[in-house]
Amino acid sequence: MFKKTLLLATVAALLLASGAVQAKEGYPAAYSGRPLTLLESTHQIGLDVGLGLNSGRVAKDIKLNLDYTYGLSDNFQLGALIEALDYSDGRGTSTAFGGATIFGRYTFMPYLGLDFGVYFPGDRTYVDKFGDQLVGLFIGVPAQYIIFENMLKVHGGLTADVSFVNKDYVLTSGGESFQVDLMLDYGLSYNPIEMLFIDLSSGATLAIYPTGNFGDRVVIPVALTVGGTLVDGDLDVYLRFMFDDLGGSPGVGAADQRTLWLGAKFRI
């Protein structure tokens, strides 16, 4: 089933790429020169395929994400993300739906904005079973500073995530409960030439409520992305190698959780 889904998604992506027209004039082709939001009336469609490289489970975990974003104005965008496929060899139900997110971003100034959104069943807050995630909300502050135009920028953000679960997966007294996570991210984007970009990003996710010992619930991801921009600046293709949690989970080595992502973004 998952092979058919991947094939259909790839064909759709190629069709979109072949039919793309030039994005709205003024949107930088260089990755490191782009604003925090899309320009007005710009559509962006994304496809990401993740291949698990965890120690002892190489190529046994596969994910497929689809996303769409639309620029309502030059400083306001809305979008949706569907985690369409979550395949794991050896799991009771090998193929699962990962969840869905509706999100938005508003920028107050070129270097500072506001993120907000709501998401539905999926593994976002240390919950592994589809039916145990009721709903989640998040609000964040993204930021960036372009050091050298179209060449080098730093980016980051701080996000608060509030979610509700219906089983006692967290350290509470039981029953329905909610938890709050605080997420920090930061990174550096570099364009050696306009059509080639490199990004190194990291961050940390810390469960701050409910109270308890959360030493094993601090997640530290690190990602290296290398990509190219094609089709008059309308198409980004990229390869991302990611350590999912360098903080290490109980019984799992810090470098043993790895994912390789292949992705593309199309702007029309």
Nearest-angstrom CA–CA distance, 105 and 67: 15
Q: Tokens 């009771």 correspond to what residue?
A: 92
Of all residues in the chain, what percent carry a pLDDT higher than 70? 73
Give the Å distances, CA to CA, from 17 to 147, 196, 202, 234, 236.
Answer: 31, 18, 30, 9, 10
Number of domains in the chain: 1
Asked if residue 240 lies in contact with residue 263, where contact means CB atoms within 8 angstroms, the answer is: yes
Looking at every residue in the chain, the average pLDDT score rounds to: 81
Asked if residue 241 lies in contact with residue 226, where contact means CB atoms within 8 angstroms, the answer is: no
pLDDT tens digits, 7-47: 445 444 444 444 333 445 689 999 999 999 999 999 999 99
Q: Which CATH number does the domain housing residue 253 bear?
A: 2.40.160.40
Q: Which domain holds residue 184?
A: 2-267
Asked if residue 46 lies in contact with residue 70, where contact means CB atoms within 8 angstroms, the answer is: no
Which of these ranges, 24-28, 68-72, 132-136, 210-214, has the smallest mean pLDDT? 210-214
Nearest-angstrom CA–CA distance, 147 and 144: 9
pLDDT at 169 over 50: no
pLDDT tens digits, 205-220: 887 765 544 444 688 9
Q: Tokens 């985690």 correspond to what residue?
A: 83
